């Protein structure tokens, strides 16, 4: 465990006595570059699943309510329950991944996702629907946190931002594409058929992971590596899934999580009420066309994540070089202001003004451009923050990522619930303006983390992995 006696940390790669005598002993050399890229592809699609499962369900609510003879509000309980299942599952899978490794958690979780999708497709009443949606969300929930940890396992610090950019870009692309896919399925197919398609996807994903994803956790870093040989080592180990939340005692992790959440909130403000803002204003009634309006945001997520990943790596290298090889973990966050202070608040604020005052194709075009810009901006916050958590937590990066995702979900749930009531009471422009202000406050948290990072980390050392490369 690193101590915090000095604010700056010397990179181990510049210390001849601490580098590996043999490159084969370096855990970052266990896989070739081609193998690393293949691993990123596999875990990126696994990370896409939870956001896709959650987002694709929303447009199907009216059809499900009609089929099961329930109200839309009652069926929406399945959305809330799936958010809870996703948060709980992320904590469970990440905690056990630190003990058993990354690969087993995927192989245990994906079958649950497939079974839950199958059960959802066959549901005939509300209790069945709620139960199987929970199983479905719980099973795939480890994709985001474990995927980030896998990339942290195989890429060095100066390279992992770019790889994590590809990962987060794929995941968040699903957040925007899922409503379009779910809307098209609701309009032209059936919600049951779409759930069966998700079941098949889960099975295929499990086969791909079994065939192509090796264990990436570094030797002797898993709990089971230290536990083998002890009496009773073959019994099942109980691990408290909520222990990951204790990592948020770290002011550094808490600050970046709040910044991440407030930036991500702008996505929700633009996307969740899309049918009532862009749809009503520009007379778009077809579910598939409304879903298509989500696509610019998804494209922005994909582009922004790649740009942000490369930028965060460049910042690490630049500041490390300027200090003659001394590494400061908050350097990765130096470029966040572009998204958090500029692109996110400007895009969400402008979209609110345009949708209330500009008619016709010009207004629609500007709104779609704002959705794209917001996607770029949000990922220019989410990607460096996610990389920062991986840098800080090392072998426990899955738990750190899960803690971030859980707190973000818990905070976004009430914020999302207030969006439509707020638009009814104070209007779309004012609601979007508040979201823009919150994004700026989020940047303030990032600024504090950069400015006082060494003091914040010294305040509560939750097991930082700062001296490992």
Closest CA to 47 of 12, 14, 93: 93
- In the predicted structure, residue 262 carries a pLDDT above the cut 80: yes
The answer for 220, left when phi > 0, alpha when psi is -120 to 50, beta otherwise, is left
Question: Using an 8 Å Cβ cutoff, are 307 and 380 in contact?
Answer: yes
Tokens read off for 75: 């069926």
pLDDT of 1 over the 50 cut: no
Mean of the pLDDT values across residues 351-365? 92
The predicted-structure confidence for 72-116, as pLDDT tens digits, reads as follows 777 777 877 888 888 899 999 999 998 888 999 999 999 999 999
> What mean pLDDT comes out for the span 349-354?
95
Q: Would residue 466 count as lying in a domain?
A: no
Nearest to 167 by CA among 355, 15, 39, 328: 39
To which residue do tokens 């987060």 refer?
168
Q: Are 308 and 164 in contact (CB under 8 A)?
A: no
Give the model's pLDDT for residue 9.
Answer: 53
What's the confidence (pLDDT) of residue 431? 94
> What is the model's pLDDT at position 448?
95
Domain-located, residue 50? yes
**Residues 447, 341: Cα–Cα separation, whole Å:** 11
In a domain? residue 25 = no
**pLDDT score of 467:** 53
Under 8 Å between Cβ of 402 and 145: yes
State the alpha helices, DSSP H only, in 213-342.
223-227, 251-271, 278-281, 287-292, 295-322, 337
Residues 389, 401: contact at Cβ < 8 Å?
Answer: yes
User: What average pLDDT is seen over the chain?
Assistant: 85
Q: Phi-psi bin for 8: left (phi > 0), alpha (psi -120 to 50), beta?
A: beta
User: Which letter does DSSP use for residue 229 in this model?
Assistant: T
Q: What is the pLDDT of residues 271-297, one digit of tens each?
A: 888 878 898 889 887 767 877 888 898
Q: Which two tokens stand for residue 50?
A: 């939870």
Q: For residue 354, what are its two tokens?
A: 């345009």
pLDDT grade, residue 2 (50/70/90)? Answer: very low
**Mean pLDDT within 203-222:** 89
Between 231 and 423, residue with greater pLDDT: 423
Q: Nearest Cα to 385, choosing from 435, 345, 329?
A: 329
**Residues near 217 by beta carbon (within 8 Å), at least 6 away in sequence:** 97, 101, 102, 153, 395
Looking at the predicted structure, is the pLDDT value of residue 383 above 90? yes
d(CA 269, CA 432): 7
The reply to whether 228 falls in a domain is no
Residue that has been written with the tokens 């709040």 in this structure: 258
C-alpha separations of 191 from 62, 350, 361 in Å = 10, 35, 32
pLDDT at 25: 64
* pLDDT given at position 19: 42
Q: Which domain holds residue 345?
A: 9-19+31-223+241-459
| pLDDT, greater one: 233 or 401 | 401
Mean pLDDT of all residues in 164-193: 83
Instruction: Tell me the percentage of the chain whose pLDDT exceeds 90.
Output: 46
- Name the nearest CA neighbour of 195 among 42, 43, 64: 64
Choice among 63-77, 101-115, 157-171, 252-266 with the minimum mean pLDDT: 63-77
* CATH of residue 69: 1.20.1250.20
> Tokens at residue 283, please?
């007379």
pLDDT at position 57, please? 81
Can you give the pLDDT at residue 42? 94
Counted domains in the chain? 1
Is 352 a member of any domain? yes
- Does residue 4 register a pLDDT over 50? no
Report whether pLDDT(453) > 90. Answer: no
Q: What average pLDDT does range 384-413 have in this prediction?
A: 90
Block residue for tokens 């009814």: 424
CB atoms within 10 A of CB 108: 16
Give CA separation, 224 vs 2, 82, 230, 233, 363, in Å.
23, 31, 10, 8, 58
Q: Answer whether residue 199 shows pLDDT above 90.
A: yes
Name the band, by pLDDT with cuts 50, 70 and 90, for residue 54.
Answer: confident
């Amino acid at each position: 465990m690193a101590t915090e006696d000095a604010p700056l940390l010397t990179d181990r790669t510049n210390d001849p006595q601490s580098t590996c005598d043999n490159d084969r002993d370096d855990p970052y050399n266990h896989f070739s570059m081609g193998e690393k890229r293949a691993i990123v592809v596999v875990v990126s699609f696994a990370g896409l699943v939870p956001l896709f499962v959650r987002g694709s369900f929303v447009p199907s609510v009216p059809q499900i309510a009609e089929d099961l003879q329930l109200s839309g509000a009652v069926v929406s309980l399945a959305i809330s329950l799936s958010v809870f299942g996703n948060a709980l599952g992320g904590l469970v899978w990440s905690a056990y991944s630190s003990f058993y490794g990354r690969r087993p958690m995927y192989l245990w979780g994906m079958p649950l996702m497939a079974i839950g999708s199958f059960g959802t497709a066959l549901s005939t009443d509300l209790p069945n629907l709620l139960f199987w949606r929970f199983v479905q969300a719980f099973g795939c929930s480890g994709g985001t946190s474990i995927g980030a940890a896998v990339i942290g396992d195989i890429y060095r610090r100066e390279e992992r931002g770019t790889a994590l950019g590809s990962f987060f870009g794929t995941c968040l692309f699903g957040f925007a594409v899922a409503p379009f896919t779910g809307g098209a399925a609701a309009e032209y197919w059936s919600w049951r058929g779409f759930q069966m398609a998700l079941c098949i996807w889960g099975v295929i994903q499990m086969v791909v992971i079994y065939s192509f994803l090796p264990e990436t956790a570094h030797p002797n870093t898993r709990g089971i590596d230290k536990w083998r040989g002890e009496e009773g080592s073959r019994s099942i180990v109980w691990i408290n899934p909520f222990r990951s939340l204790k990592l948020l005692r770290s002011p550094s992790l808490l600050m970046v999580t709040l910044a991440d959440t407030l930036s991500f909130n702008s996505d929700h403000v633009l996307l969740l009420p899309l049918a009532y803002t862009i749809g009503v204003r520009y007379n778009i009634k077809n579910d598939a066309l409304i879903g298509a309006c989500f696509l610019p945001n998804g494209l922005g997520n994909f582009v922004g994540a790649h740009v942000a990943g490369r930028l965060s790596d460049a910042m690490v290298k630049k500041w490390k070089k300027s200090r003659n090889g001394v590494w400061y973990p908050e350097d990765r966050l130096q470029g966040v202001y572009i998204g958090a202070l500029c692109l996110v608040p400007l895009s969400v604020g402008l979209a609110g003004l345009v949708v209330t005052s500009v008619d016709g194709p010009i207004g629609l075009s500007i709104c779609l451009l704002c959705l794209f810009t917001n996607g770029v901006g949000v990922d220019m916050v989410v990607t460096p923050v996610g990389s920062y958590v991986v840098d800080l937590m090392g072998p426990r990066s899955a738990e750190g990522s899960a803690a971030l995702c859980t707190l973000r979900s818990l905070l976004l749930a009430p914020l999302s619930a207030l969006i439509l009531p707020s638009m009814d009471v104070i209007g779309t422009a004012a609601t979007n303006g508040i979201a823009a202000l919150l994004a700026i406050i989020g940047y303030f948290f990032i600024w504090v983390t950069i400015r006082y990072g060494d003091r914040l980390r010294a305040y509560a050392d939750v097991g930082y992995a700062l001296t490992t490369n």
